[in-house]
Structures are given as structure tokens and as C-alpha cells.
Structure 1
Amino acid sequence: MSLRLELLRLGLRWGAKRRMSRVATPVQARQQFRHLARHLPEPPHLLRLHIGGMDRITAGPVDERAVILWCHGGAYIVGGPGTHATMLGRLSRLSRLAVLAPDYRKAPEHPAPAAFEDVRAAHGQLVAQGWPPSRIVLGGDSAGGGLALALLADLCARGLRPACCIVFSPWADMTLSGDSLHRNGAADPLLPVHRIEEARRHVLGDLRPDDPRISPLHAVFDAPPPVLIQVGSDEILLDDARRMAEHLHKAGAMVTLEEWARAPHVWQMFDGWLPEARRALWTAARFAADHAGVSIASR
């Protein structure tokens, strides 16, 4: 663990977590998240192009034989391709693959399954443009990680198996049955666990909490591809990641579960400042390139 990691934990606990605990409305939460994102360091040559409901994000030359379809996080309520552009640009730079990030509809204005329908349509758009399903890498962070896993189950059921799937700190179970929600409530330096039930009410709409379009822990996976899951050891969503890894393994997937000591929720967003973020992103980039069948430069 680096000194910067410990400093980041302190800063998040006394800054972001307190603000998230007190924020009154989804509109205010969106404003706060955009403000935080503006302070994240950009990679060199970051390029963001809005194309057909998605942002194409790169940071240098890419191999056009494969692509990453990334579902951004934000509890299905906040965030967008812009708030995640720095992290996704760095992932693109390391993997040498373009990242396509759908700007899916948000709750509470558009509750589930709106986000799922939008990312499903985005994948269909990529296939219609000529990308073979086996050359599309799925990815997502936080709620977007759950969204990516839900899409993975749907694609496998329809015979559109992607190259692989990469998720950071996924929110995979809307039944809120993971023990780490309680066990890590105080230890998690970012997410205030007392707000998670409120967030769920905003998101669910008319769906049951165990609907596989919002809770991939309860989805059926038909011969899933390799999956990489990264999660911090103190996160309230730790058990979502652990149980998701076990569920995928039982379905036949080759699953790599990485538990990073004391890393906060989606710490990969702090690459450029946090060494643990660079190491995690490099692992993800290598995983994506290897399974998509493209080569990348050595570390």
C-alpha cells in the first residue's frame, strides 16, 4: 500500500463520503460528481467524440480490430461518459483499444430497466456497425459493473458471447443481501451505506430486486467468457464481487477475482495520482487485449 492510497482514503472519508451522506437530491448528487470528475488528471492526447448516443474515448493510437463497451458507474443516478473519460482514456491508452461508453438513461427520471435497454441497444449498434461479438470487450464500474454483467448474461443467452468482461467494484445484487454492506459499513472510505436503500428505491421502478436486468447475481449465464473482477477489501460491495465471482465460476467462466487491500470504491479513477490505480488498470488492459486477440506494448 502506498502513502498516497492512505491519503486518498482520508480525503474521501472526510470530503466525498460526508457530502454523499448529506446530498439532498439526485440533481445535487450529479453536480457533486461532475465537480469531482473535473479534478481527475487527464491522460495525454485524450479524445472524446460523441457518436450515436455513445462517447468514443481514446488517448493515443488504437487497434481497430476490437473495442471496449464500457458501462459507467454512479448508482444508475449520476455520472456519464464525461465523468469517466479520464479513467477510460487511460484504459484505452494502456489497452490500445477504443472505449465506447453509452450515455444511458438515469434514475429516478428513468428507472430500471431503462439503463439495461440502452446498453443492450448500444451493443446491438456496435454489431450492426460490423464488430464481431467476439471482438467486443464488456466492462463497467460500480452500478455500471452490474449493468455490464447483466448485459453479459443477456448476450450469452442470445449467442452473442463477448471477448471477455471486466468489472470494477460491481453493484450486482439489488436485494442488498451481501453481508459486507453491514460488515464494511464503517470501514468503506467512500460509500455511505445508509443511503443505499434510498438509491435502490430510485432505481428499481416496477422491477423486483432480483430481476436479472438489475441484479446479475440472480441471472443465468450460459457459457460465459473470461471475467475479471477488481474490488477493494473494505468496500460495502465486497460480497457482491465475491458472490458474483462464485456464481460465474459455477456457470463455467474463467474468473479472476482481485481483492485490493484498502483500495476505495473504483480507485481506478485516480490513475495519474495513485499507483494502485495504474497497476489495476494495467491488469485490466492486458486482460482486455489478450482476450480480444490484440497485442499491446510492454509495461
Structure 2
Amino acid sequence: MSLALDLLLVGLRHVVRPRLRRAHGPLEARRAFDRAAAVTFRAPPFLCRIKDRAGLDRIHCGPRLHGKIILYFHGGGYVAGGPHTHAAMLGQLSGLSQLEVCAPAYPLAPEHPFPAAFEGAVASWEHLMAAGYAPSDVVLGGDSAGGGLALALLSYLCHAATPPAAAFAMSPWCDLSLSGDSLQGNAERDPLLPAERIRELVGYILPEGADDADPRVSPLFAEFPTCPPVLLQYSETEILFDDCRRMAERLRGFDADVLERRHPRAPHVWHLFQGWVPEARQSLREIADFARAAFAAR
């Protein structure tokens, strides 16, 4: 493990996690994430970010393969983040894969509670189909809450018999019923996420009476008939470790080809720190190779 990653873990544990513990609600957390992304995440040279006719961000960096695309859903606990917070990382992924990335700004809670994010994800997929892409021209991806959203959309598309070429998820949040043992077992080990506030977060996302095991928000309980290959990357110290581990088992139960990559100590969605820690670039390179291989297999 690199010295840069060691230093990052110290900073997250002693600076960022205490601030998340003290944040006064989702709007403050959203503003803090925006500020941190603007000064911390390092964009690669020649990053290009534009909006298409539907208002979806299109991100690329360098030459790209025509007619193939990654549809990516950002993380932020369904209450924060956007294409702007993730553009630097997605630019790096685009450069490594030579694929364009479409990054929707899906509706955020608490202003837009469940199922608004899922409906936004479906609308983004339908926009790409209307723009001339076939399902086999698209790889789904996402991180944290966005990783769960990508997997929920994957289930929807599998049921519709229009699965994408493949899907990947970085540290996905797959279970809003909060049944994973690692929420307690890794509460002190996780250098970033404060486990004691996650139930409060669920309360902002789900309206009163909503089912926290609904597959549209908790894909751990979804079905995945005729599932394409899936890559899951996550850390063994995360409070979401059991979400990810059980998600891999769930997918394999539907005969999916699942590639798991567990890091022993990296923080939640360490990929965002590309440009600072070599482990982030290495993991993005693996995703890039996975996406290109999925298209080559078609």
C-alpha cells in the first residue's frame, strides 16, 4: 500500500469523518461535498465536459470509441454530489478506457425522495436509447449510492430483456434496510463514513411508509435474469462491506459472471482520489479494461 494512501486515510479519519458526524442535515453535507470536490479532486489534462440536448453531462478526455458509452451514476448518499463532483474521476476513466461517459444529475433527496432517483436513472437510459444507442453499446456504472442505483437499473433492464453490455460498481450502497453486519462490525474501521448517521440518512431518502427493501433502492433484494458481467470494487474496512459482499453472492445466484476486487484498507470510493493515490488509478484502469473487454465480447 502506498504512502499516499496512508496519508489519505489519516486525513479522512481525523478531518473529514468528524465533519460528516457534525453536519447539520443533507443540505450542509451537499455544500461541503461540492466545496471539497472543487479543491481536492484532480482533473486530468484535456478534460471535456458538455451537456447534451437532454441536459445530461457528457464527459471525455482524449480519443474515444465511437458508438459506445458508459452511463454513470454519481454517489453522495442520494442527497449530495453530481456530475460536477465526479467529473475529474470520470475524465480519468474516460481517458483510460477511451470511452465517453454520460453522467446524469438525477434528482436528489430530501427535495426529491424515492423513487425519484430511480425514475431519473430509467429516463437517462431511455434518452440514450432514443439517441441511437443499443443496450449492448452501454456499460452501466456508479459509486456508493450511485452504484446501488446502477444495480437497481440493471435489474430493471434484465427484467425487460434489454441488459447492457456490462455493469460495474464502486463501493455500492445496496441495502437501505441496513441489515449488513459490517455497519456495526466496521463502524470504527471505516475511515470516512460515520455509521451512526446512516439510519438518519435513510430517513431523508425514503418517504414515510416506503419499503426499505424495495429493489429500486435496495438492489440486494432484486432479481437479475440474463445478467451481463458485473465488476464490484470495494474495501474490507467499509461499513458497506456486507452490502458489497452479499451483492456479489446475489448476482451469482442468477448465474452472473461477477468479478470482485476487495482492497484491504482503502476508503469508501477511493477512486475519487485519482491523481493523488496510485491505488485509485489502478482501480480505474481495471474498470476501463473491464468495460472495453465487455464491448469487445459483443
Q: Please give the per-residue CA displacement for 1:161-199, whole angstroms capped at 9, x wherever unaligned.
A: 100001000000011000010000000000000110000
Distance in structure 1 (CA, Å) of the matches to 2:116 and 2:265? 33
Deviates more, 1:58-67 or 1:210-219: 58-67
Structure 1 residue 36 corresponds to structure 2 residue 60: no
Q: Determine the structure 2 residue equivalent to 1:152.
A: 154
Distance in structure 1 (CA, Å) of the matches to 2:56 and 2:235? 29
Q: Please give the per-residue CA displacement for 1:79-138, whole angstroms capped at 9, x wherever unaligned.
A: 000000001110000000000011100001100110000010100110111101011000
Q: Determine the structure 2 residue equivalent to 1:13.
A: 13
Q: Please give the per-residue CA displacement for 1:262-290, whole angstroms capped at 9, x wherever unaligned.
A: 00000000111100001100000000111
Contact 1:135 1:163 in 2 (8 A): yes
Structure 1 residue 48 corresponds to structure 2 residue 49: yes
Overall identity of the aligned pairs, in %: 51
The correspondence for 2:227, drawn from 210, 224, 227, is 224
Secondary structure of 2:140 counterpart: strand
Distance in structure 2 (CA, Å) of the matches to 1:112 and 1:50? 25
- Aligned pairs, number: 294
Q: Deviation at 1:59?
A: 1.1
Secondary structure of 2:84 counterpart: coil
Structure 1 residue 59 corresponds to structure 2 residue 57: no
Q: Deviation at 1:141?
A: 0.1
Structure 1 residue 26 corresponds to structure 2 residue 26: yes
Q: Deviation at 1:207?
A: 2.3
Secondary structure of 2:83 counterpart: coil
Task: Letter of the 1:191 partner, please give it.
Answer: L
Distance in structure 1 (CA, Å) of the matches to 2:252 and 2:246? 10
Contact 1:111 1:203 in 2 (8 A): yes
Q: Determine the structure 2 residue equivalent to 1:279.
A: 282
Contact 1:148 1:167 in 2 (8 A): yes
Distance in structure 2 (CA, Å) of the matches to 1:82 and 1:209? 29
Q: Please give the per-residue CA displacement for 1:60-88, whole angstroms capped at 9, x wherever unaligned.
A: 11112210000000000000000000011
Q: Determine the structure 1 residue equivalent to 2:264.
A: 261
Q: Deviation at 1:223?
A: 1.2
The correspondence of residues 97-246 of structure 1 with structure 2, limited to 5 A, is 97-205=99-207, 206-246=209-249
Contact 1:113 1:207 in 2 (8 A): no
Secondary structure of 2:51 counterpart: strand
Unaligned runs of 5+ in 1: 295-299
Contact 2:37 2:85 in 1 (8 A): yes
Structure 1 residue 289 corresponds to structure 2 residue 269: no
CA RMSD of aligned residues (A): 0.9
Distance in structure 2 (CA, Å) of the matches to 1:18 and 1:53? 35
After superposing on structure 2, the runs of 4+ consecutive aligned residues of structure 1 that deviate more than 2 Å are: none
Distance in structure 1 (CA, Å) of the matches to 2:104 and 2:296? 23
Distance in structure 1 (CA, Å) of the matches to 2:96 and 2:206? 35
Q: Deviation at 1:53?
A: 2.9
Q: Deviation at 1:26?
A: 1.6
Distance in structure 2 (CA, Å) of the matches to 1:20 and 1:83? 17
Q: Deviation at 1:224?
A: 0.6
Task: Letter of the 1:49 partner, please give it.
Answer: I
Unaligned runs of 5+ in 2: none
Secondary structure of 2:260 counterpart: strand
Distance in structure 2 (CA, Å) of the matches to 1:137 and 1:169? 17
Distance in structure 2 (CA, Å) of the matches to 1:207 and 1:159? 27
Q: Determine the structure 2 residue equivalent to 1:297.
A: none
Task: Letter of the 1:135 partner, please give it.
Answer: D
Contact 2:161 2:226 in 1 (8 A): no
Distance in structure 2 (CA, Å) of the matches to 1:160 and 1:179? 34
Structure 1 residue 2 corresponds to structure 2 residue 5: no
Distance in structure 2 (CA, Å) of the matches to 1:20 and 1:293? 42
Task: Letter of the 1:83 partner, please give it.
Answer: T
Distance in structure 2 (CA, Å) of the matches to 1:191 and 1:53? 31
